[in-house]
Amino acid sequence: MTIPTRRLSLVASAGVLALSTGVAWAQDCPIKIGGMAPLSAPGTVVGGEAMRDAMLIAEEDINAAGGVLGCDIDVVIGDTEGLPEKGTALMEKFISQDGVVAVGGGYHSSVGVASKDVADRLQTPTVFAETWNDTITGDKQKYIFRIAPLSSWASSTIWKHALEIPGVEKVAILTENTDYGIPAAEETTRGLESGGKEVVTFSVDIGTQDYAGIVQRMKAENPDMIIVLATGEAGYNFQQQAADAGIGSLDMPFHAGQVSLESKAYWENVPDGNYAFVQRIGVPENLFTEEGKAFAAKYKERTGKDAVESYAMEAYDSIAIIAQAINEAGTTDADAVVAALEGIEHNGTLGKIYFPYGSGKDPSEDGHGDEYWHQWPDVALTVIQYQAEGENSGEATIVWPDAYKTGDPIFVNQ
């Protein structure tokens, strides 16, 4: 192998990198890692931009700490547009043209479901950051890992919280026809119905802008609560159009889509969005790890935001985990990196990340389903509520579960 020309020593930084037990030089510098993000419509552009910024901060931190195997890393950012066919093409390009040794990031489930098969076929370790569909790890593919929650976990957070809201007997769900929205709506419906609630679901295509017809049909159902299971900025349009029709978050319990964590964009697009509930991954900022606090400071300075979105933290961690695994493997060889990932303990922004199930231990040995394969099991899931106009999501009240609760929810018209 060729000795790197850019560095001749390994330097470690606690919380970002771990030293390899022996020196095994990479063939070329810089070492390229792919970073997937939706940067164009109909994808969630604000989410993609947050992930891009986070992955580039990870690149800077890793390189400042000594790089990987004596080399700088180069995070090659690619736009998925939130579309499965674009994600597949991007994964092919990353591996076949750009020469990446691993891939991080990823926002939309449909993109993850489609692109994971390419990564596994081409034997490229991939750590998905924000793709929730259970089958992404449930297919038990050798090269696929995930640090986002399972869709079934995320859905249970929403319906369990909804079951605790007084006066809710009928719930209307808005979902998108994607590999995220379809199973999420099914899982949420089953949970609500297990608690004796009536559920009516309305499906739309990703990127839908005009919801006038859906809003009127939903209003006619006279629901007690609305749950949005759709990604992208189009969700802002639905929420404000619902508010204009008298079924928004000022009128009834309303669980908004995760894009509502982008506080500045949220309030610009949904001025009548107060009292909305939003699901958030991770603990409140006052409970961030030291790595989380350090990242939050850099992220806020770079973006000018007042809060750090959970998907930005996931994106950062996905790149940092890959870097640590390559260093611990002592090589960019894919099988060696997979082995390192299966045994990794990474002190990330979201907490201590590890993968207890894989080639060494099948999930079934502990009574779990296949979806636990290469899945981080300790994802914290909370529900926040905006309780003041213009409030940023990092300061919003956590209303569920009790373990992280910072205040009581406000229930309108009850």
The pLDDT score that the predictor gives to residue 8 is 32
Give, for 138, the enclosing helix (H) or strand (E): helix 135-138
Tell me: the pLDDT tens digits for 76-85?
999 999 999 9
> Is the pLDDT assigned to residue 1 strictly greater than 50?
no
Check if CATH label 3.40.50.2300 holds for domain 152-284+383-400: yes
> Is the pLDDT assigned to residue 3 strictly greater than 80?
no
Structural domain boundaries in the chain: 31-150+289-372, 152-284+383-400
Given pLDDT bands bounded at 50, 70 and 90, which one contains residue 286? Answer: confident
The model's pTM = 0.87
Tell me: the pLDDT tens digits for 100-125?
999 999 999 999 999 999 999 999 99
Q: Three-class SS of residue 204?
A: strand
Q: For domain 31-150+289-372, which architecture applies?
A: 3-Layer(aba) Sandwich (3.40)
Calculate mean pLDDT across residues 368-395: 96
Ramachandran sector of residue 172 (left: φ over 0; alpha: ψ -120 to 50; beta: rest): beta
User: Which segment of 29-33, 282-286, 348-352, 371-375 scores lowest on mean pLDDT?
Assistant: 282-286
Calculate mean pLDDT across residues 118-135: 97
The pLDDT score that the predictor gives to residue 9 is 32
Kindly give the pairing relationship between strand 144-146 and strand 346-348: unpaired
Given pLDDT bands bounded at 50, 70 and 90, which one contains residue 233? Answer: confident
Given pLDDT bands bounded at 50, 70 and 90, which one contains residue 234? Answer: confident
Q: Given this chain, do its domains 31-150+289-372 and 152-284+383-400 carry the same CATH topology?
A: yes
Task: Output the six-digit token pair for 140.
Answer: 């038990």
Residue 161 Cα to chain centre, angstroms: 20
Diameter over CA atoms, the chain: 70
Calculate mean pLDDT across residues 34-39: 98
> Is the pLDDT assigned to residue 359 strictly greater than 70?
yes
Q: Three-class SS of residue 4?
A: coil
The CA-to-CA distance between both ends of the chain, in Å, stands at 69
> Is the pLDDT assigned to residue 13 strictly greater than 50?
no
3-state secondary structure 368-389: CCHHHCCECCCCCEEEEECCCC
